[in-house]
């Protein structure tokens, strides 16, 4: 099958150097994943790439830098489970080592190496990751659910009497960080300002630098406060861990957990609510007891995982993957959503997936999301509490009018307008 990609390319035709994934093809044959037209239909583009190239496809990212997009479920698992060949250490990235990723490059903030568990492998990863997972594991789902129920009630109280709401901006986008402030041992009033700052940084607005400075200062003060006065909270557990993290390591891992938990959990809540409101069979199975809410969330994570594409892995040596020749220093993008829709494991996407957690919504292997139990607890408690408070919740617009905002890594539901019988707060 031949796909004409010329509509997605600019007039400049660059030829990548030997050793790059695009060498021998020319950029006129490759999709630019950062192009607005491509991002408008990224799900469709991924399926076109699968049809043309199979489970591993050559693509271009910002600055026309070459990369491999991994679409196959088996191939993604192979990468996730073999960090010795496909490293999380971005210092292996040839384009960065050779100066083609300047400090102001759009991918620089998320690919520039830092002493964090997500950028290291081996013993360094074991030390830092162990501190994070051990500390997060000290919090039971039951305690987390109490916080979620309280904040869900507070948010619903703000719009319950109106009979209408946008469940993205007024609910899903505001809940996770409020819960995380409790796990961080912070007062309730920090929730709204942290939410705004994290969103600002992730969206790359003109005030993102100031918001990032606010996050750094707030988290640094938190670390200093918890070192002096520890409590039953995540920062205190991280500080007290035998791994002996420095203040800088503690602060930056707090930032990592804060931003990762927010972005993915907001999407998970919004996607779950959209599915409940737009799929009558789904809601019938849920209300009829044929499917529990945790089971329903697993289905959502198969169909619409909270993260679409995960950056990145870098090949440590020449190898082969999905019949493609991967060279040392190549960047690979993990197509989590595409892998979940791989025909090799899901020939019928309309068929429900019951009791199967082999989706890649939380990645996999040694770098699998360490806080997924928290994300699940927040999402299923939030949806359950909301539907209990507003049992006749209905979509206020036709499903066809719902809009998505797509970037390389995330696919966001822009708004979820609903209506319901006004209720007393």
| Domain spans in the chain, listed from the N-terminal domain onward | 6-419
Range 6-419 has CATH code 3.40.1260.10: no
Name the one residue in this structure whose structure tokens are 């100066």.
99
From first to last of its 425 residues, the chain has per-residue pLDDT tens of: 333 333 333 333 334 444 444 443 445 589 999 888 898 899 999 999 999 999 999 999 989 999 999 999 999 999 999 999 999 999 999 999 999 998 878 888 788 898 889 999 989 999 999 999 999 888 877 788 999 999 999 999 999 999 999 999 999 999 998 999 899 998 878 878 887 887 777 665 667 778 888 888 999 999 999 999 999 999 999 999 999 999 999 998 998 888 888 889 999 999 999 999 998 777 776 766 666 778 888 889 999 999 999 988 999 999 999 989 999 999 999 999 999 999 999 998 888 787 788 899 888 888 888 888 888 999 999 999 999 999 999 999 999 999 998 888 888 899 999 999 998 87
Task: Give how far the C-alpha of residue 23 lies from the chain's centroid of Cα atoms, to the nearest Å.
Answer: 30
- Phi/psi of residue 59, nearest 5 degrees: -140, 180
Encoding tokens for residue 96? 């960065």
User: What span, in angstroms and rounded, lies between the C-alpha atoms of 237 and 231?
Assistant: 8
Please compute, for residue 187, the number of CA atoms within 13 A of its CA located in the half-sphere on the CB side: 5
Q: Which residue has the tokens 């996999």?
A: 364
* Strand 319-321 with 324-326, pairing: antiparallel
The interaxial angle of helices 122-136 and 247-278, nearest 10 deg, is 60
């Amino acid at each position: 099958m031949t796909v004409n990609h010329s509509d997605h390319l600019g007039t400049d035709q660059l030829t990548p150097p030997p050793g790059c994934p695009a060498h021998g093809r020319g950029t006129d044959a490759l999709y630019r994943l950062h192009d607005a037209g491509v991002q408008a239909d990224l799900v469709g583009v991924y399926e076109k790439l699968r049809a043309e190239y199979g489970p591993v496809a050559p693509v271009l990212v910002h600055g026309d830098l070459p990369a491999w997009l991994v679409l196959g479920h088996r191939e993604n698992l192979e990468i996730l489970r073999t960090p010795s060949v496909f490293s999380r250490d971005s210092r292996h990235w040839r384009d960065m080592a050779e100066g083609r990723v300047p400090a102001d490059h759009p991918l620089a903030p998320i690919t520039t190496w830092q002493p964090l568990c997500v950028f290291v492998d081996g013993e360094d990863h074991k030390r830092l990751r162990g501190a994070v997972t051990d500390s997060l594991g000290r919090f039971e789902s039951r305690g987390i659910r109490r916080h979620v129920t309280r904040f869900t009630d507070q948010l619903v109280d703000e719009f319950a009497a109106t009979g209408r709401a946008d469940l993205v901006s007024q609910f899903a986008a505001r809940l996770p960080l409020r819960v995380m402030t409790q796990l961080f041992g912070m007062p309730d009033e920090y929730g709204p300002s942290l939410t705004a700052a994290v969103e600002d940084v992730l969206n790359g607005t003109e005030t993102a630098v100031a918001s990032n400075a606010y996050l750094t200062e707030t988290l640094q003060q938190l670390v200093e406060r918890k070192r002096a006065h520890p409590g039953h909270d995540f920062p205190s557990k991280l500080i007290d861990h035998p791994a002996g993290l420095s203040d800088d390591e503690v602060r930056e891992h707090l930032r990592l957990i804060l931003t990762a938990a927010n972005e993915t959990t907001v999407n998970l809540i919004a996607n779950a609510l959209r599915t409940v409101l737009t799929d009558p069979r789904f809601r019938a199975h849920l209300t009829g007891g044929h499917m529990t809410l945790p089971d329903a969330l697993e289905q959502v994570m198969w169909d619409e995982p909270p993260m679409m594409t995960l950056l990145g892995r870098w090949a440590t040596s020449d190898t082969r993957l999905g019949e493609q020749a991967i060279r040392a220093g190549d960047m690979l993008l993990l197509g989590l959503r595409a892998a979940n829709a791989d025909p090799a494991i899901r020939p019928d996407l309309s068929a429900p997936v019951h009791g199967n957690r082999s989706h890649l919504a939380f990645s996999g292997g040694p770098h699998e999301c360490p806080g997924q139990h928290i994300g699940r607890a927040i999402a299923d408690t939030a949806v359950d509490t909301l539907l209990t408070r507003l049992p006749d919740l209905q979509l206020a617009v036709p499903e066809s009018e719902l809009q998505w905002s797509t970037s390389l890594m995330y696919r966001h539901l822009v708004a979820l307008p609903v209506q319901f019988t006004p209720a007393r707060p």
